[in-house]
Amino acid sequence: MALVPLATKGHYFHVYDFKVKPGRGDEFVELFNKFDYGDNNPFHRSAAQVKDGVLCRDTENPDRFYLIGEWRDIEEHRRIREFVAREIRPEFVQLIEGGHFVPNYADPGNYTVAKKLPSAN
């Protein structure tokens, strides 16, 4: 069993939970990747980003997505997100129901303690 935490204590996750317009999930993925891996993505140039985020597609609803990433600084992420929304306006946001692309922030902390594994002896 791997006992490697998904994040480092003192960092933060951004957690997006959103639905795209019905039947537009594949188009959303294409436009999201175009922005995310393009040269115009300021998130990837920030020293506050610990790891590249991961876009997950709901297994029950192909028009629902989650985007999770690890950052050192919530305020830096928020500042960049607001800049992107105001100045860059990526095409993929138009496909999100309500046009709302704001995350929740979560502290992964050290809230779970791994129990001592039974000895091999």
Task: Please write the tens of the pLDDT for every residue from 79-98.
Answer: 999 999 999 999 999 999 99
Amino acid at 26: D
What is the spatial distance between Cα 57 and Cα 38, in angstroms, rounded to a whole number?
A: 21
**pLDDT-based confidence at 120, cuts 50/70/90?**
very low
Task: Please write the tens of the pLDDT for every residue from 102-113.
Answer: 999 999 876 665
Q: What's 43-94 look like in SS3?
A: HHHCCCEEEEEEEEECCCCCCEEEEEEEECCHHHHHHHHHHHHHHHCCHHHH
Burial of 55 per CB tally in 10 Å (0-12, 13-18, 19+): middle
Q: What is the pTM of this model?
A: 0.84
